[in-house]
Amino acid sequence: MRIALVIGTVVALIVAAALSAQQTKPAAPMQVEKVKDGLYLIRGPFNRCAPNGCTPAYGDDGLLHEAGDVAVRVTAEGLILVDNKYQENVAEILEKVKSVSPLPVKYVLNTHHHTDHAGGDASFITTTEIIAHRNVRENFLRNKQPGAPRVTFSDQASVFLGGIEARAYYFGRGHTNGDAVIYFPDLRVVHTGDLITEGMPVMDYRNGASAVEWVSTLDKILQLDFDIVIPGHGPLLNKERIRSDRQKLITMNQRMAELAKRNVPLDQVFAQLKLQDLGWDHTVSTVAFTGGLTGYYEEMKSQPAR
């Protein structure tokens, strides 16, 4: 009996280890895609559950998740990167970058501070100038996140390299209080960070998010001249997708404001938002959205009656 118990325990441990390895092993590796001449997109690696694999907080939702989209702008004098995923992704990112150009990375532009987008700053900052909105640096420091950018801007900044301009705008709060939109005017391409993703909007209220201001932030993005969108996560999109997400966000905000003002209990709110008709009831960011539900509820409750 004792031998059988030991064997059973060993088998259980082996099965658990196999499942754990399966959960952490990427379902698909990083991939490079040409956006336009001189501009490339690095996506992946693709994992189950969450960008860095399954955890107790993220069960398997049947979808593949990825760390933030990285843009690589090639110039005659070097490269400009937008975001850099998790720190553990840096080595693979650099391999993918070398497949595009042998030139060194001269600048990194952060869209915001989250580690699935800017976790690599801790590695890049030793050799590369990193530029971000000033609130991004403050979020790095407050959250004790390594690699805080040393160069910041308030409203707008430009990097000029090899005759190419990469322009960073801060249009206001949305996903966080430091979301930058990176614009390549010669190519008519924007990288929105998590202001636009393949999934539903996620509000990080611990770091200054605002669902209300997010709408006006999107309005300002739409004033730029572009035809291709590199989202925070997911495949390339177009300008119409931003218009569509803006209207969906307005609708969701109206519903949340009504629920909050009727004092609908928080544990009933998600179901009553009825996100199915918006296509936001089951996306790669739905679990993360529910994590910010309390802050969203409180913000919309505080809005003046219309």
Give Dmax (Cα) for the chain: 76
| Contact present, 75 and 161 (Cβ < 8 Å) | yes
Q: What is the mean pLDDT of the chain?
A: 92
pLDDT value at residue 213: 98
Task: Give the other-Cβ count within 10 Å of 158's Cβ.
Answer: 13
Phi, psi of 96, rounded to the nearest 5 degrees: -65, -40
Q: How confident is the model at residue 13 (pLDDT cuts 50, 70, 90)?
A: very low
Express each pLDDT in 117-164 by its tens digit. 999 999 999 999 999 999 999 999 999 999 999 999 999 999 999 999
Selection from 191, 238, 152 nearest residue 68 by Cα? 191
Angle of the 211-222 helix axis to the 293-301 helix axis, nearest 10: 90
Q: Which two tokens stand for residue 186?
A: 């010669």
Strands 180-184 and 189-193, by their bridges, are: antiparallel
pLDDT value at residue 181: 98
Report the distance separating Cα 296 and Cα 299, nearest Å.
Answer: 5
Complete DSSP assignment for 33-93: EEEETTEEEEE--EEESSTT--BTTB---S-EEEPPPEEEEEETTEEEEE--B-GGGHHHH
Q: How confident is the model at residue 306 (pLDDT cuts 50, 70, 90)?
A: low
Express each pLDDT in 28-66 by its tens digit. 999 999 999 999 999 999 999 988 888 887 888 899 999
| Contact present, 78 and 103 (Cβ < 8 Å) | yes
**pLDDT > 70: percent of the chain:** 91
Given a cut of 90, is residue 8 above it in pLDDT?
A: no
Which amino acid appears at position 266 of this protein?
L
Classify 25-239 by CATH class. alpha beta
pTM of the model: 0.91
pLDDT value at residue 229: 98
| Contact present, 203 and 292 (Cβ < 8 Å) | yes
pLDDT value at residue 179: 98
Express each pLDDT in 282-304 by its tens digit. 999 999 999 999 999 999 999 88
Report the distance separating Cα 293 and Cα 296, nearest Å.
Answer: 5
| Cα separations in angstroms, 269 against 58, 146, 258, 288 | 20, 36, 10, 15
Express each pLDDT in 87-121 by its tens digit. 999 999 999 999 999 999 999 999 999 999 999 99
